[in-house]
Structure 1
Amino acid sequence: MPYSNTGKVAVQKPENLALKVYEHFHDIGLQRPSKALLEEFFDCLFYASLEREEGQEIRVTVTYYNPRSQPARQDKEDGWSFVQLDKPIPLNVSSLVKLAKAADPWSGSVAVSHINQTLSIVGLIDQAVHLQSYLNLEEEARPEQPGLFQAFVTGIGSITVMRNLHVIASFKKGTLITDYLDVLSRKGQVFELITRIAENTAVKVARKMKENGLEAVPQPELVVSCRVLYIRSLKRILTRIKNYAHGGAMLITPGQTDLKRKYGITYDRITQTIIKIIYNKQLPPEEQTDMQALTRELKGAIRFVASQSCVDGLVLLDTSFVVKGFGVVIDTKDGPEKVYQSLNINFNPEKTAIIVPNHFGTRHRSMFSYCYYHPGSLGFVVSQDGDIRAITRVGTKIVIWENILIQKGKATPRKK
């Protein structure tokens, strides 16, 4: 990128990712492969990510696994198991690309180990669907993970490394990302805007409870419950848009001016399902609806909304999280001359990087412009390579947050 960011360090080679992983295990006092082996490992993953197999980009999870140090099977029914190959295969770009077709990230991972200081593919690991569902906020149960770490090849030149479901670092097209901002879940300007949506819904839940003679629940408790569900829903929508790999945008705004809606709709099922879930929890056990059915309903509504991003234009929602249209085009005046990139969850003018909007594409610039002229609006832009940015106006400034955390994982809790 053409601007600085303390959480993004320009790099030339994947060896910087290898060094970061090597230092991570030194810091926590665990045995680790040599730096040379890690460099070879990440070089292979990087160059494999540049290949195509049967016309498709490579998407694969690789587990650095030592069969001698872990059991081959978990005790849990849905726990992972190691499926050993009859004989090891040398790890190289060709062998990894071929095996990637047999282990898509939602089904399994490729197990790699070092044998006499030589990297080899030693087998496959199953039940990856539970890891992906957990990371994408579709399952609550935290799955146990095998191996020393997992490396996710998520696109061309893109690798994310996790250990125990915590992100160590990501490498994306010459950039090493080590800090993530959980702007959706931690207190700051973005969090406050989501809280307002939750407050609107909490009022509706309280009204429904009163109409049905239920004991009142303190408003702050209802707001917290609603906010948790909205945050999870928003993260899941953004994750699905990212996974489509075509880019997209969402705009949550109290106004409807300066917008051209190609497909106007009113879809409130996410909000209505959240109301039902919160209300259902207040009922006596014998009167409660099947919570799994409500969870499935919410999942279906989330996927329905995310799919609307596949049409050119943004997905438009009001401040009650009701979809008002898709294929929406912003039609506003020229935007601000400067954009402020916040380096913290809570915007602090002293800890920013000033950006010239022309460094971004049309999708970003139009979102800058709309949010500048419509305070209280919150925009999200997902680029084709998977970067997700949050945008809103703070005071008289347009602020953008990068490297925002949308999956389960470790974030950098910068608040000041």
Structure 2
Amino acid sequence: MSPARTHAYPADLVRFASHRWPAGATTDDALLTEVVAVAYHASFLRDEDRPVLFRLIFTGPGKMPANDTSTEGLHVLKFASPRPFDEQEIRRLSQGAPYDRALIGVCKHEDTLVIWGIVHTGTRWLQSASGARAPDHALPDCVVLRVARPGHVALSWGEAPVAELRQGDLGDSRVDVFASDWLPARFADVRAEIADIVARDAKLAESVDLEVIRLIGQQLIRRTIAMIRAAHHGGTLLVVPPECATSMVDERFVRLKYPFADKPARSRYRQLLMPMLREIAPLSLPGQKAGPSEYFRALSTSARTSDDAMFELAQFIASLAAVDGAVVLSKRFEIMGFGGEIAGDLTTVPVVRRSLDLEGTRFEEEVVDRVGTRHRSAYRLCNRFHTALAVVVSQDGSVRFITWHQGAVTYWDHASLGLSESA
């Protein structure tokens, strides 16, 4: 008999985070536990049938940057008198300080916790949170707390995610499937195609490191996953090799309710990629190619417009996932269609492997009868097509990468915190 599950609570989250704060970060764990506990209990409330979703910034108003006259800075509004920090006050303020646009300011005042005001951030933080863009306005070094669904509390230090409590489970930002070797290896042939295209432009080829191509594609999928999580509806992405995409979606294995015509518009990612590379190229130093650091710098400067377009593409793909069924992409990130039903003569998969590390070298076997249809159908497809990749996002915000790996259907529980707080 398997041991009874142990659930984690706010005090456990604070202890868990205490070993994960960035170097130099200091927190009062007792006080922070009180903050997290209030936020945790507030997350289960409703305000006139509206969910209570919010972000808190745990620092005094004096630590916030001064308001400036720029259009993109933080807009810090201090109450004339502080408000009590409790679940009902958070419930009321959550509607006026919406999760995606504002932070509720909390600090200790005369030996008690109070709400001192609201910090309006706008929505651009979503782009940096889900896709590595440097933020337009840096938050001060302090604890930021996010509540995006009942019982889901995530802690960050400024912009840097640290730890989260979700449905009684603790997680941190170090479990990131995108950091594996096997995942980028699956796309090596497609990156080689793009490298051939880049090679036709001698100036571009000598100015941009091909590692940037991997990062751009990775950010598209990161952002798409983040947006699906933020919508709270779940969804499935199927990423399939171009050579078998047609055979998979021709009604035999994946029935697409809404297939897109094979026209250039289906390849929006490729249309945006080359201009973006050309915008990154000028940042290269003499005798060197523009690499990852130049890419991240370009996201807020020369490549900002292209990055906005990539962000919109991720949002579009995520919105397609709101329709019942899978969104099918080729490995070139062509949008084949959506509303996909995995069907056909696919063998039942009774047991799968749950990877215990990034590369799937350590694993444990699991029977599949404890998961829903969405997961089981993805298992069957990956069992039939060994080069396919499924990304299944559950309504609770959990993300599972599924593929055939080292002789068996294997999955990874992906726990990045970029926008998981909002999902």
Do the structures match in fold with TM over 0.5?
A: yes
Letter in 1 for 2:216: L
TM-score of the superposed pair, with normalisation by structure 1: 0.84
8 Å CA contact retained: 1:201, 1:320: no
Letter in 2 for 1:230: G
Note the C-alpha offset of 1:402: 0.9
1:334-389 per-position Cα deviation (integer Å, ceiling 9, x unaligned): 333322222222221xx223221212111011111111110111110010111111
Q: 1:352: which partner in 2? A: 363
Out of 160, 165, 170, the position equivalent to 2:154 is 160
Q: 1:33: which partner in 2? A: 28
Out of 9, 12, 15, the position equivalent to 2:11 is 15
Query: Residue 101 of structure 1: SS of its match in structure 2?
Result: helix
User: C-alpha distance in 1, partners of 2:204/2:97?
Assistant: 51
User: C-alpha distance in 1, partners of 2:64/2:381?
Assistant: 55
Q: Which runs of 5+ in 1 are unaligned?
A: 410-416
1:159-185 per-position Cα deviation (integer Å, ceiling 9, x unaligned): 11000322221001111113532222x
User: C-alpha distance in 2, partners of 1:405/1:75?
Assistant: 33
1:378-404 per-position Cα deviation (integer Å, ceiling 9, x unaligned): 110010111111111112111111134
Q: 1:56: which partner in 2? A: 50
Note the C-alpha offset of 1:283: 8.9
Note the C-alpha offset of 1:215: 4.7
Out of 65, 78, 82, the position equivalent to 1:88 is 82
Quick one: structure 1 residues 394 and 215, their matched pair in 2 at CA, closer, same or farther if it must change by over 3 Å? same
Quick one: structure 1 residues 115 and 295, their matched pair in 2 at CA, closer, same or farther if it must change by over 3 Å? closer
Quick one: structure 1 residues 157 and 141, their matched pair in 2 at CA, closer, same or farther if it must change by over 3 Å? closer
User: C-alpha distance in 2, partners of 1:183/1:151?
Assistant: 24
Quick one: structure 1 residues 173 and 204, their matched pair in 2 at CA, closer, same or farther if it must change by over 3 Å? same
- Once the two structures are overlaid, the 10-residue window that deviates more, 100-109 or 130-139, is 130-139
Q: 1:412: which partner in 2? A: none
User: C-alpha distance in 1, partners of 2:69/2:364?
Assistant: 48
Note the C-alpha offset of 1:236: 1.1
Root-mean-square deviation (Å): 3.0
TM-score of the superposed pair, with normalisation by structure 2: 0.82
8 Å CA contact retained: 1:251, 1:316: yes
Out of 310, 313, 316, the position equivalent to 1:301 is 313
Query: Residue 381 of structure 1: SS of its match in structure 2?
Result: strand
Note the C-alpha offset of 1:58: 1.6
Identity of aligned residues (%): 21
Note the C-alpha offset of 1:237: 1.2
8 Å CA contact retained: 1:252, 1:378: yes
Letter in 1 for 2:230: N
- Once the two structures are overlaid, the 10-residue window that deviates more, 97-106 or 172-181, is 172-181
Q: 2:142: which partner in 1? A: 148
Q: 1:217: which partner in 2? A: 205
Quick one: structure 1 residues 109 and 249, their matched pair in 2 at CA, closer, same or farther if it must change by over 3 Å? same
User: C-alpha distance in 2, partners of 1:18/1:115?
Assistant: 21
Q: Does 1:313 align with 2:325?
A: yes
Q: 2:240: which partner in 1? A: 253
Q: Does 1:341 align with 2:354?
A: yes
1:216-264 per-position Cα deviation (integer Å, ceiling 9, x unaligned): 7279x66423211111111111111111111100011122331111111
Out of 367, 370, 382, the position equivalent to 2:393 is 382
Q: 2:111: which partner in 1? A: 117
8 Å CA contact retained: 1:80, 1:146: no
Note the C-alpha offset of 1:115: 2.0
Note the C-alpha offset of 1:132: 2.7
Out of 170, 173, 180, the position equivalent to 2:174 is 180
Quick one: structure 1 residues 334 and 60, their matched pair in 2 at CA, closer, same or farther if it must change by over 3 Å? same
User: C-alpha distance in 1, partners of 2:360/2:402?
Assistant: 11
Q: Which runs of 5+ in 2 are unaligned?
A: 285-301
8 Å CA contact retained: 1:253, 1:378: yes
Note the C-alpha offset of 1:311: 1.0
User: C-alpha distance in 1, partners of 2:314/2:64?
Assistant: 37
Q: 1:326: which partner in 2? A: 338
1:169-215 per-position Cα deviation (integer Å, ceiling 9, x unaligned): 1001111113532222x2421121133332233333435x3xxxx45
User: C-alpha distance in 1, partners of 2:114/2:283?
Assistant: 56
Q: 1:46: which partner in 2? A: 40
1:37-69 per-position Cα deviation (integer Å, ceiling 9, x unaligned): 33322121111111122322121101111235x
Letter in 1 for 2:164: S
Q: Does 1:108 align with 2:107?
A: no
User: C-alpha distance in 1, partners of 2:282/2:210?
Assistant: 18
Quick one: structure 1 residues 277 and 22, their matched pair in 2 at CA, closer, same or farther if it must change by over 3 Å? closer
- Once the two structures are overlaid, the 10-residue window that deviates more, 160-169 or 174-183, is 174-183
8 Å CA contact retained: 1:105, 1:128: no
Letter in 1 for 2:389: L
- Once the two structures are overlaid, the 10-residue window that deviates more, 131-140 or 109-118, is 131-140
1:70-128 per-position Cα deviation (integer Å, ceiling 9, x unaligned): 25516694333532211111111100010111111222100111223321111112225
Out of 259, 264, 288, the position equivalent to 2:259 is 264
User: C-alpha distance in 2, partners of 1:165/1:345?
Assistant: 25
Quick one: structure 1 residues 352 and 229, their matched pair in 2 at CA, closer, same or farther if it must change by over 3 Å? same
User: C-alpha distance in 2, partners of 1:296/1:63?
Assistant: 27
8 Å CA contact retained: 1:73, 1:79: no
Q: 2:374: which partner in 1? A: 363
User: C-alpha distance in 1, partners of 2:55/2:283?
Assistant: 44
